[in-house]
Amino acid sequence: MVFKFLNRLEDPNDNPLLGPTIWALRSGGMWQKSCVKSFFYNSVHFLAFIFVVSQYIELWIIRNNLVMAMRNLSLTMLSTVCVVKACNLVFYQNVWKKIFEYVSETERSQLAIKDEAVSNIIFDYIKYARCVTYFYWCLVTATVFTVILAPVFIYWSSSTYRESIRNGTEPYPEIMSSWIPFDRTRGFGFCVASFYQIYACFYGGTVVANFDSTAIVIMTFFTGQLKVLSVNCERLFGDGNEVVNYDEAVKRIKECHMHHLYLVKFSSVLNSLLSPVMFLYVIICSLMICASAVQLTMEDTGNMQRIWIAEYLIALIAQLFLYCWHSNAVLSQSNQVDDAVYLSAWWSQNVRIRRSLLLLGGQLRKTIAFTAGPFTMLNMATFVAILKGSYSYYTLLAKKEN
């Protein structure tokens, strides 16, 4: 049943790579067409924005309680990033569509040629993208249900806590810390707050799964296409024994040049969409990892809370790792693509072709890189630096607590 459902998401004729991605964006309200649906989805987005505002209000109210403030901060920062990602997908939908059209059109034209080497590269990175996408969807789903069910596990894990709730000395455990204009610790107020928080959890999970998987899949596309470009550059003149006339050689060089030119162009467009979001996420992720680590080591943190925080922390690190890993892969492949020019049978061509080949090599030296704002590149070095920075913040807070 699961495999049948996943097969229904495929769109091999129009969108070989982006079939599941486009389905997810449409289902999540990020890919809007009709006015009626757009109004409904935008209302959902607006309610999520109001929820984030209520989280900040609650954070201000409980600012003097370190334990409660830390727990609030961990989820409030993540909710903020979710809203920013949703706004990015909705407000810049036309720009995202242009990138999608380029990705699908490029793959369709390459697969239509039926070049075995190129087709194998495309099918390989499509298969890899599917594995990463479905794994990430499962990770986000597990995180969402962990956050929602954590209060239930906390309630049932301690008989003392249950007795405190019954005699009124302790409030019911809440899913997320947010402010509402009436008592949320008992009765009707608790039910309303719980439903609103459950909605916010599912909304946040949908946005994170859609935005992150979309970005990672497109990064995978750029890595795969750079490999295709490398293969085409190596085969510019065959094995040296193939007779390639001047016009044909110029045509092949021009095709490689235009291929790389469009990759650079659309990677810059993608980076303009991702960079502000990733800048915010890198800063917030450092704080969230630090806050989660502090909560794990607090003495008054229960075992079930520790399990919830550990799962949440793993999801945070995995999310950041996937971005940095795939961005680093694009950068690494981009730095290697110009080597393919000199692996070709350039020595079999005349001086005029060699000059054109040098120009192509110069073009291919332009690297494709993704950034997190204007200050840092998105790569594995940044990932390690963030973990180190989070550990430094944690040690400072731990010393202050002691």
Q: Is residue 147 part of a domain?
A: yes
Q: Which pLDDT score, from 0 to 100, does residue 103 have?
A: 95
CA distances from residue 138 to 29, 124, 193 in whole angstroms, order as listed: 20, 21, 26
Q: Any bridge partners for residue 360, and if so which?
A: none
Cβ–Cβ contacts within 10 Å for residue 214, how many?
A: 24
Q: Is residue 16 part of a domain?
A: yes
Q: How confident is the model at residue 100 (pLDDT cuts 50, 70, 90)?
A: very high
Residue 73 in tokens: 């901060």
Q: Is residue 192 part of a domain?
A: no
Q: Is residue 168 part of a domain?
A: no
Q: How confident is the model at residue 373 (pLDDT cuts 50, 70, 90)?
A: confident
The average pLDDT across 297-326 equals: 76
> pLDDT (tens digit, 9 = 90+) per residue, 126-160?
999 999 999 999 888 888 888 888 777 777 777 77
Q: Is residue 240 part of a domain?
A: yes
As a whole-number percent, the residues of the chain with pLDDT over 70 amount to: 92
The average pLDDT across 220-226 equals: 95
What is residue 64's three-state secondary structure? coil
Distance CA 77, CA 61 (A): 16
Residue 227 in tokens: 């490999």
Q: Say how many domains are in the chain.
A: 1
| Domain boundaries, position 367 | 2-32+89-155+211-401
CB-based contacts of 366, cutoff 8 Å, min separation 6: 260, 264
User: Chain-centre distance of CA 236, in angstroms?
Assistant: 36
CA distances from residue 173 to 45, 152, 162, 190, 236 in whole angstroms, order as listed: 26, 8, 10, 9, 66
Q: Is residue 336 part of a domain?
A: yes
Q: Using the structure block, give the residue that is written with the tokens 């690494």.
A: 332
Distance CA 333, CA 102 (A): 20
Distance CA 341, CA 345 (A): 9
Q: Which pLDDT score, from 0 to 100, does residue 123 have?
A: 94
Q: How confident is the model at residue 7 (pLDDT cuts 50, 70, 90)?
A: confident
> pLDDT (tens digit, 9 = 90+) per residue, 14-47?
888 998 999 988 888 887 776 667 778 888 888 8
What is residue 376's three-state secondary structure? strand
**Amino acid sitting at position 221:** F
Q: Is residue 123 part of a domain?
A: yes
> pLDDT (tens digit, 9 = 90+) per residue, 109-125?
999 988 889 999 999 99
Q: Is residue 199 part of a domain?
A: no
Q: Please give the backbone phi and psi of residue 19, each rounded to the nearest 5 degrees, phi first.
A: -55, -60
User: Chain-centre distance of CA 188, in angstroms?
Assistant: 37
Note the helical H segments in 298-350. Answer: 303-336, 339-343
Q: Name the residue with higher pLDDT: 225 or 294.
A: 225
What is residue 370's three-state secondary structure? coil
Q: Which pLDDT score, from 0 to 100, does residue 1 have?
A: 67
Q: Any bridge partners for residue 376, and if so which?
A: 372
Q: Which pLDDT score, from 0 to 100, does residue 394 have?
A: 67
Q: Which of 62-66, 260-264, 293-297 has the highest mean pLDDT?
A: 260-264
Q: How confident is the model at residue 181 (pLDDT cuts 50, 70, 90)?
A: confident
Q: Which pLDDT score, from 0 to 100, does residue 130 have?
A: 94
Q: Which pLDDT score, from 0 to 100, does residue 389 have?
A: 77
In the predicted model, is pLDDT for residue 242 greater than 80?
no
In the predicted model, is pLDDT for residue 376 greater than 90?
no
Q: Which pLDDT score, from 0 to 100, does residue 176 have?
A: 81
DSSP 141-182: HHHHHHHHHHHHHHHHH-HHHHHHHHTTSSPPP-SS----SS
Q: Which of 76-80, 129-133, 350-354 has the highest mean pLDDT?
A: 129-133
